[in-house]
């Protein structure tokens, strides 16, 4: 596990679906475990004959992936339905819904990617530790992986895997995450 100066803890999660650039809506909150952020970097090794056929002398960057894992609590149902069903939502008309099948061949960037913002709750260690320079995080991507439904009386805790995509974090710089002070 890599070192980070970020502190896990309670976060409020906000969502802007594709095509929306302001007025993020509350998705819900995380529990005490906060958000797990997994960065995977890929590279191709370059081997050198002069030092032996298996000696690696350099690497070529081949990109990578960023995945978030978290559990939504205090669910805001209408927003979570859109968020959890990215392939069946459409711009302008809320035709998203549980148990609907998306159209094969659609590009996610045209209908499913949105902006996820995670703001640490006021008064928590996560908020106070990184208060200077923006303690919130912004990501672009979509919910991926299986969805679980519980048809019982338990409280609704929604486990999520979120695939991030690179985006312009300012001045043409591409990144997985952008530090923010407030929601959009």
How many CA atoms lie within 13 Å of 154's alpha carbon, on the beta-carbon side?
Answer: 8
What's the burial of 165, exposed, middle or buried (CB within 10 Å: 0-12/13-18/19+)?
A: middle
Model pLDDT, residue 154 = 72
pTM for the model: 0.84
Contact 86, 162 (CB under 8 A): no
3-state helix, strand, coil in the chain (%, to 5): 10, 45, 45
Output the average pLDDT for the chain. Answer: 83
15 against 105, higher pLDDT: 15
The neighbour count for residue 5, using CB atoms within 10 Å, is 6
**Would the pLDDT of 42 be above 60?**
yes
- For a pLDDT cut of 70, what percent of the chain falls above it? 83
For 74, residues 6+ apart whose C-beta sits below 8 A from its C-beta are: 28, 29
CA distance 43 to 127: 35
CA distance 167 to 175: 6
**Would the pLDDT of 16 be above 90?**
yes
**pLDDT tens per residue, range 60-91:** 999 999 999 999 998 887 788 778 888 776 54
**pLDDT tens per residue, range 126-140:** 777 655 556 889 999
């Amino acid at each position: 596990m890599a070192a980070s100066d970020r502190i896990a803890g309670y976060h409020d999660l906000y969502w802007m679906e594709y095509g929306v650039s302001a007025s993020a809506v509350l998705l819900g909150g995380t529990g005490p475990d906060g958000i797990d952020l997994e960065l995977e970097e890929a590279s191709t090794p370059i081997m050198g004959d002069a030092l032996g056929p298996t000696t690696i002398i350099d690497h070529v960057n081949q990109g990578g992936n960023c995945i978030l894992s978290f559990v939504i609590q205090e669910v805001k149902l209408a927003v979570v339905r859109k968020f959890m069903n990215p392939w069946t939502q459409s711009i302008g008309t809320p035709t998203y819904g549980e148990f609907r099948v998306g159209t094969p061949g659609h590009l996610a960037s045209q209908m499913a990617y949105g902006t996820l913002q995670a703001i640490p709750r006021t008064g928590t260690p996560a908020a106070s530790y990184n208060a200077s320079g923006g303690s919130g995080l912004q990501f672009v991507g979509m919910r991926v992986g299986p969805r679980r439904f519980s048809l019982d009386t338990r409280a609704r805790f929604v486990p999520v895997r979120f695939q991030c995509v690179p985006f312009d974090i300012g001045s043409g710089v591409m990144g997985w995450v952008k530090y923010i002070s407030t929601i959009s």
